[in-house]
Chain A
């Protein structure tokens, strides 16, 4: 029973290792450290976005605006950074936080459905991004890029470090803080949480604000990778982040799940692109694979839920 529980909790990492083993059997190139490092580098922005998304989904809501906010963040950075690095970091973070806060207030206080609200915000943030920069460009200081993506031997230390910090912070916040407990309670049932004297409005506003903030940080990291600002770079982040959270074991209805699973799913999703690329498969198949993966996992989970219910009755 105990081993089964452990396997259940860590299944995503087992799946990850299986995928990596198969990939390195298919293509020998996959065994190189540089490939592993690429996966890590591309996992960082998704892991950040998924952290916010994870909190939002744990409260039983969605954030579709993460991609737009992330892209806007790269655009703002690419405009300001050449003049002042500090403000170039501060402003994207501010924009993400403010947009996330607006999402949160509208969802919690004005009771706008989160799907609609963040859908609208996605369009708004992307539109603003395109107004500022309608094609990719701008300047990201070399010093900034080097700081984030500098090689120490074959290893990129900073991204690895960021990924581990993000994982620890995410897990710690969810499991060991009052805020985390409140997030789970609100996600399970906001009536219960409200009656238990939890400020539900505040928690809902907070998760969306955090989601906007983490999406903005992700944008700041991503602009170092692509070395420019791009208002369309976030298109797949809503899909990818939701897929990662759901694959990682968080229930869409909220109240159950964790962040370590999400990180495992992030690593798998970013690996898929690399693997397809190296195996010589058309890159667009990655999208198909990701979409299928999401649907299959949700279907399997619903099947499990139904069985549980029948046993209970």
Chain B
């Protein structure tokens, strides 16, 4: 394999942080390399430098042995470097075809006027080439997250880049979406492209990548062939210490002893859900699995009153409750943690304000806040949740992803919920933070709270919950009760089958 991209002694310094410290590495033709490391290890900085979006303080880049100076994203494009990022980058109210050729519509002129037939034809060719089946006339805003990622891939591929950088593109995808993206990446590798792949899901790294570059605190720990190591070995390299246990132990309680406190009966929504029946016991963690967008998140939202229900009843302790907005949900001791932290936290407000928000009503005297009580409750919960911050007055926007998520947990726990709804609670976090979230969830369950999760990462589905419920096309298609006792390989197969609608 021949070396195509080489970097030597790249350093980048941000105020207070040495983001990259004399990094040397190289990438070969026809190879998928993963860059792995904890948050703050310097992965994104390295990618931004390769993309020309950041200028390194020192160091050199070589492409095919020639020194290059990548300044500006346009330069990167010229050198044959293309990238797709985690954040969506499509214009909602333009068609797929227009998005793919954004900024280059000028190529499709017919007598000086944009010719849509030419544009659509060219876009179709690109998608056919990649074996993507999406209507190019559709508006980008109506695509599913997986389809959006595919279109962004297509948009990048139209320049025919030699080096493809993919930064956390699978974060919002379910396993089917991931499989489709991986198929495209593998094809490109086999065509001789170089792929640089970044993901927090180690399972995916092992699935797709040939080699891994491990970064820690801005330095290269090691570059290694993935077939020579195990997941645990890689984690140990990334963390620099042994990770005791990523997932907490389940405490097995016979189902008979469990007391069902929460029931959904015949729930149907205007959206996707049809006739959902579900019981959750005290202290139980139930996960909703299946392909993303088949109604799992909608079920959480419907229970919390964010999505209107057509029919169906919700019972708490055998008493019917009517929840049609979050205010009511809060009164019935239901909490909802969405998968988007930006929908949960006011980033410019302090930790204290954020945590206090939903439970304000609990610490008032005639509308006035009882300051001492608030201070005590907030600082108690934040030390219990192990939030790492200079003080409670710190703006939430300055915290790391893991600490932000802990603030979200704290804020809802102060409302003393009995039922906790979480949509992908560990999404986008690094391994250490993910593990902390798993332990928090398990601890809460042991304290007697009922937890209903939406999970899309198979590793989490197999290891975290007590029970897995697979939803497909808005219906519960299968339930797996004895998660702990079954063979995980078999279970995984069964869950995948059920998700695909095969029963």
Contacts and interface: CB of A to CB of B under 8 A. Distances in A.
A176 B306 CA distance: 29
Contacts of A176: 368-369, 371
B400 interface: no
| Residue from B327, B336, B345, B411 with most neighbouring chain A CB atoms (10 Å) | B327
A184 B345 CA distance: 12
Given A189-B346, A198-B357, 17 more contacts: A177-B369, A178-B360, A178-B367, A178-B368, A179-B367, A182-B360, A184-B349, A185-B353, A192-B343, A192-B345, A195-B306, A195-B343, A195-B344, A196-B357, A197-B329, A199-B327, A255-B348
A188 B326 contact: no
Interface string A171-191: 000001111011011001101
Nearest to A182: B360
B364 to A, nearest CB: 5
10 contacts: A178-B364, A178-B369, A181-B353, A181-B357, A185-B349, A191-B343, A192-B344, A196-B357, A196-B358, A197-B330
A102 to B, nearest CB: 24
Chain B at the A interface: SS class: mixed
B172 interface: no
Nearest to B330: A197
Contacts of A191: 343
B361 interface: yes
B346 A197 contact: no
A194 interface: yes
A188 B336 contact: no
B327 A195 contact: no
B240 interface: no
A131 interface: no
A21 to B, nearest CB: 34
A301 interface: no
Interface in B409-429: 411, 415
Interface string A197-220: 111000000000000000000000
Given A188-B348, A188-B349, A177 B357 contact: no
B277 interface: no
Contacts of A185: 346, 349, 353, 357
Contact of B360 (A181, A192, A195, A312): A181
Contacts of B358: 196-198
Contacts of A196: 326, 357-358, 411
Nearest to B328: A197
9 A-B pairs with the lowest CB-CB distances in the bound complex, closest first: A197-B330, A188-B346, A196-B358, A197-B326, A178-B360, A196-B357, A197-B327, A177-B367, A197-B358
B90 interface: no
Contact of A255 (B15, B346, B411): B346
A193 B326 CA distance: 10
| Residue from A197, A198, A199 with most neighbouring chain B CB atoms (10 Å) | A197
Nearest to A186: B346
A181 B343 contact: no
B338 interface: yes
A176 B357 CA distance: 13
Interface in B334-359: 336, 338, 343-346, 348-349, 353, 356-358
Nearest to B366: A177
A311 B17 CA distance: 12
| Residue from A178, A198, A256 with most neighbouring chain B CB atoms (10 Å) | A178
Contact of A195 (B326, B348, B361): B326
A56 B330 CA distance: 26
A204 B485 CA distance: 53
Contacts of A181: 353, 356-357, 360, 369
Contact of B361 (A178, A255, A256, A311): A178
A23 to B, nearest CB: 36
Contacts of B415: 197
Contacts of B330: 197
Contact of B368 (A177, A192, A194, A311): A177
A275 to B, nearest CB: 35
Contacts of B348: 188, 255-256
A255 B360 CA distance: 17
A199 B360 CA distance: 12
Contacts of B369: 176-178, 181
